[in-house]
Structure 1
Amino acid sequence: MTKLYAISDIHGELACMEEALILVDWQEKNCLFLLGDYINRGNQGCQVLYRIKELEELYPSQVTILIGNHEQMFLEWLQNSEEYTVMVDSYFETIRSFFSDVEFDEMKEHLLSLGAVEKISHFFAQKITEKHSELIKWLRTKENNWYIETETNIYVHAGIFEDEELWKVATTKDEFVWKYPAETGKFYKNIIAGHIGTTEIAKNQTFLGQVFFDGKSHFYIDGETNKSRIVPVLVYDTETEMFTSYLYDDGCWREYIVKK
């Protein structure tokens, strides 16, 4: 029996991620698929990336890491920091997570002298690249990790162009990580994705922190961790072909069937 675990959209919430990892059974044949958006919004983006890197080092044959749109934006910012300042404007908590309190205090005076946001942006990008060079090199190796395909499932951050014969060549890079709105309905394989909160797809707030299944072929697992404090875990049993997930109830996790 092999179990395939999937989590997505951790968004800088290290403690929530660690809680989800408790549910993973690391038996030899089991696998964990991480579907992107590990950073931004929460204030421990750097720490989440290091933890994921560590998981890959501990379980190299069992952990597979995809890129999400937030990692794509982050890497683009590091490359073109003076032109692309959204990280400074919108995701400063992520930048802050790459430095200790002492380091950041030491930089404050220099930051004030820079003035223009473009110069501040470039300064931070340079410092992150210098201090965390190995982490950034590692993250860049994931830049073209768009999907995972198994015999029955397709795992992706946002979605694919849903044509049975052409999806691998017809889906654009942006579609893999940015597809919107979420697609539902029947497809020849199950599609497991994050990117869009399950409450939006379900049009039901009770799905906060939970998996959404459309009743046909689509599973969405972005539980809006920054609001729910939960990283949903979707499990596929390759022997029974059953999908399960977990609900947090009275201080403990309870597994339930999503699809038989």
Structure 2
Amino acid sequence: MTIERTYALSDIHGHIDPFRAALQLVDLDRDPAAELVLLGDYVDRGPASREVLETVRDLQQRFPERVTALLGNHDDWFLDWLGADDEDSSWLLGDADLGTVKSFLDPLELAHALGHDDPSSDASALDGPTMNHNIKNAIPTKHSELVGWLRRLPRVHETDEQIFVHAGVDEDAGEMWRAATPDYVFTEKFPATTGPFLKTIIAGHVQTRSLHPDGSNGVFHDGESHYYLDGAVEEVGKLNVLRYDHATGVYEDIPVG
């Protein structure tokens, strides 16, 4: 199998419809010479975090040699919360209207986690470690395979020409970047780095409107070694798709919609 085209997507943030629209452009079923690299941040902000994760996992299972999924900082924070002390409810309190939680638990399951039997009740009583414990244990109990899969995702993917990563690497380390970069930098590096590097770095995390002089949301290229893809899907309703042509070495921002 020869890969001729590599597509990259990032920062889906629980928005399943824009993700499905972007996948229509990639079309792994009809293009056996295509591969897909997903740069993380599958959860939070949107209403369908679980559906996004399941779609990514299913793609990996169907195309194990052609789909690579990386971990993002929001995915990492979600996993940290699941494994944290019950006293630490900071992630849960930051989940606006429990949007991410509700994608994993149906109304009755959430009601039980909150200590009652009324699925129509507003989930507002998040006032203690018991509530936090109940909710964060209900998710891996119901979705143990999905959570386990998420925990196993790598933080970086390297090819002969590129470094795919959610946020960035320690570029000051030069050729030693992989060994010198702490895990949290792969997923949380900020601000964006620009300029030349040993390989082309393709990342998400930093919204491209903060990098484009005109505040636009398309793929940002610094003219050197960096591409950034996060187009703020939660606001614009679509994802950026970057395509790399192996024969020509050309990168292209593929319009969605």
Is 1:221 the counterpart of 2:232? The answer is no
Encode CA deviations 1:145-186: one digit per residue, 9 max, x unaligned: 111111111100000011331101111111100000000011
Which residue is equivalent to 2:7? 5
Amino acid aligned to 1:157: H
Which residue is equivalent to 2:58? 54
Amino acid aligned to 1:182: A
Please report how far the alpha carbon of residue 199 of structure 1 lies from its aligned counterpart in structure 2 after TM superposition.
0.4
- Equivalent position SS for 2:116: helix
* CA distance in structure 1 between the partners assigned to 2:139 and 2:181 by the alignment: 32
TM-score (norm 1): 0.88
- Is the CA contact (8 Å cut-off) linking 2:243 and 2:254 kept in structure 1? no
Please report how far the alpha carbon of residue 49 of structure 1 lies from its aligned counterpart in structure 2 after TM superposition.
0.6
* CA distance in structure 2 between the partners assigned to 1:63 and 1:216 by the alignment: 26
- Equivalent position SS for 1:53: helix
- Is the CA contact (8 Å cut-off) linking 2:39 and 2:164 kept in structure 1? yes
Please report how far the alpha carbon of residue 137 of structure 1 lies from its aligned counterpart in structure 2 after TM superposition.
1.2
Please report how far the alpha carbon of residue 117 of structure 1 lies from its aligned counterpart in structure 2 after TM superposition.
2.9
Please report how far the alpha carbon of residue 106 of structure 1 lies from its aligned counterpart in structure 2 after TM superposition.
5.0
Q: 1:24–1:115: structure 2 CA closer, same or farther, 3 Å change rule?
A: closer
Q: 1:107–1:160: structure 2 CA closer, same or farther, 3 Å change rule?
A: closer
Is 1:170 the counterpart of 2:180? The answer is yes
Runs of 4+ in 1 over 4 A off after TM superposition: 105-109
- Is the CA contact (8 Å cut-off) linking 1:81 and 1:121 kept in structure 2? no
- Gaps in structure 2 of 5+ consecutive residues: 118-122
Moved more, 75-84 or 217-226: 75-84
Q: 1:25–1:43: structure 2 CA closer, same or farther, 3 Å change rule?
A: closer
Q: 1:79–1:108: structure 2 CA closer, same or farther, 3 Å change rule?
A: closer
- Equivalent position SS for 1:82: coil
Is 1:95 the counterpart of 2:105? The answer is no
Which residue is equivalent to 1:151? 160
Describe how 1:112-131 pairs up with structure 2 within 5 A.
116-131=127-142
1:186 aligned to which of 196, 207, 212:
196
Aligned residues: 245
- Gaps in structure 1 of 5+ consecutive residues: 253-260
- Is the CA contact (8 Å cut-off) linking 2:194 and 2:222 kept in structure 1? yes
More strand by share: 1
Q: 1:22–1:130: structure 2 CA closer, same or farther, 3 Å change rule?
A: same
Which residue is equivalent to 2:242? 234
Q: 1:109–1:156: structure 2 CA closer, same or farther, 3 Å change rule?
A: same
Please report how far the alpha carbon of residue 115 of structure 1 lies from its aligned counterpart in structure 2 after TM superposition.
6.4
TM-score (norm 2): 0.89
Amino acid aligned to 1:9: D
* CA distance in structure 2 between the partners assigned to 1:117 and 1:36 by the alignment: 30
- Is the CA contact (8 Å cut-off) linking 1:148 and 1:154 kept in structure 2? yes
- Equivalent position SS for 1:148: strand
Which residue is equivalent to 2:120? none
